[in-house]
Structure 1
């Protein structure tokens, strides 16, 4: 695998450009290369970020082409189709798959041999498409999955309880989408489960779950797109890989029998290090949460099947 401190980002739209800017601010790597079907747009974004970097940390940021991917340790894919206001992410699966296959195919042809992080919509299905196209081991093709959703879950729980989000541990599992599972059984505050912490205090679980699931739609309706949250999730995954942190994050990965689910990408807590996903964890869920996770897997299975059928048309 490459040993250079380079991250390549394919797709310089709102998410890709924001991720590049956040990576620059964090100073995680010394090289960031931006690639886009519009070389002019990639060059403009790279120049803008590089100008900002002049007063930040030393580093090289430039617009490149697929030949620059070969020496990257991490490849981030944000290119894909964008859902219209109110549309589910799965509505663009067919169009996104064409784009993702092309991007991954060109990257592999250029000699890329690192870890892939996929944020294209719909993230779970596109990560599975990317893995199949790349031929890389599944542990080296990671979707942003429900990392952002889990952060939203923690924050909204914290807001209602009047505590800091960092004091809350909580996981959203399954699809990054409408079938995602708010795993309340995983919520811990100071080692206490939620019911114990509440001590009889009212807490509307359904309202919080709805708010988390609809957050992307609400943001998209208000400003036309989402960017900061998912870009931050991308950066967090890249940081875990680059620094070999061996931290546990809820990301999308290929399941191989966990909870009886096989051959589908969805989010579970995963141990992440330099080589990608090193272990998939299986928290003890309630029967209702397990059923919801199985239902989410079915949604993703249908999405992937529809994507494959669209490709055959």
Structure 2
């Protein structure tokens, strides 16, 4: 496995470019290489970010090609098809799978041997496609999964309670998509569960769940795409890997019997470090939450079957 301080991003659209900018600001890597099927776009984004880097921490940023991924410790895949007119992420699975397979094959042919982080939509299915194509162990192929959704969940809860998001622990599990599971049983505020914290205070769980699930669509309807939230999630995962943080993050990983689910990528809380996913955790869920998680796995299984 590579231990270099180089990260490569394949797909320099709105998400890839924003992720590169975020990574530059964090100063995590000495080198950031951008790769895109449109080299002129990659070159323009690299130049723009490098100009901003002139007043930030020193980082070498350039537009490269697949030969440059051999020396990267992490490869981020954001390339894929785009959703249109509010269609679900799963609707573009077939088109995205063709793109992701091609990107991963070229990276592996170039000698890549690090950690793959996949953000292409639909994220869970495309992570599974990337793992199968790469031949890397599942622990080394991670999807952004529900990390962004969990951040949204925490923020919506915090907003309704008028407290800081950092005071809230909460997980969204399963698919990064319409079948995702708002695991209210995982909510903790100062060590208290949600009901204990609320007391007699009112709380609209259904409204929060709907808002979190529809957030991506709402943002896309307003500006045509999403970028900042998912780019921040990408950066956080890469940081945890690069620094061997051994932090718990809800990301997409291959399940091996957890909750009776096997052979499917979906999100559960995972211990993340230099080797990728070091452990998959199984919080105590309610019966309804477990049923919803199984239903989410079925959705993802159908999506995967449709692209093979």
TM class by shorter-chain length? over 0.9
| 8 Å contact kept, 1:85–1:224 | no
Query: Is the aligned partner of 1:210 residue 2:220?
Result: no
> Match of 2:229?
229
Secondary structure, in 3 states, of the residue corresponding to 1:201? coil
Query: Is the aligned partner of 1:51 residue 2:47?
Result: no
Secondary structure, in 3 states, of the residue corresponding to 1:263? strand
> Match of 2:291?
291
Q: Which runs of 5+ in 1 are unaligned?
A: 309-313
Query: Is the aligned partner of 1:273 residue 2:281?
Result: no
CA-CA distance at 1:85 after TM superposition: 2.3
> Match of 1:32?
32
* CA distance, structure 2, for counterparts of residue 196 and residue 3 of structure 1: 45
| 8 Å contact kept, 1:268–1:281 | yes
1:197-245 deviation per Cα after TM superposition (whole angstroms, max 9, x unaligned): 0002110101000000000000000000000000000000000000000
Superposed, 1:178-217 pairs within 5 Å as 178-217=178-217
* CA distance, structure 1, for counterparts of residue 251 and residue 237 of structure 2: 9
| 8 Å contact kept, 1:246–1:271 | yes
Q: Which runs of 5+ in 2 are unaligned?
A: none
* CA distance, structure 2, for counterparts of residue 183 and residue 248 of structure 1: 16
> Match of 1:14?
14
> Match of 1:155?
155
> Match of 2:176?
176
> Match of 1:240?
240
CA-CA distance at 1:162 after TM superposition: 0.2
> Match of 2:136?
136
The normalised TM-score by structure 1 is 0.98
> Match of 1:3?
3
* CA distance, structure 2, for counterparts of residue 53 and residue 85 of structure 1: 35
* CA distance, structure 2, for counterparts of residue 168 and residue 19 of structure 1: 25
Secondary structure, in 3 states, of the residue corresponding to 1:9? strand
* CA distance, structure 1, for counterparts of residue 173 and residue 3 of structure 2: 32
Superposed, 1:294-309 pairs within 5 Å as 294-308=294-308
How many residues are treated as equivalent by the alignment? 308
1:16-49 deviation per Cα after TM superposition (whole angstroms, max 9, x unaligned): 0000000000101110000000110000000000
* CA distance, structure 1, for counterparts of residue 181 and residue 230 of structure 2: 18
* CA distance, structure 1, for counterparts of residue 121 and residue 2 of structure 2: 27
> Match of 2:252?
252
> Match of 1:96?
96
* CA distance, structure 2, for counterparts of residue 84 and residue 152 of structure 1: 22
* CA distance, structure 2, for counterparts of residue 4 and residue 59 of structure 1: 14
Secondary structure, in 3 states, of the residue corresponding to 1:177? coil
CA-CA distance at 1:59 after TM superposition: 1.1
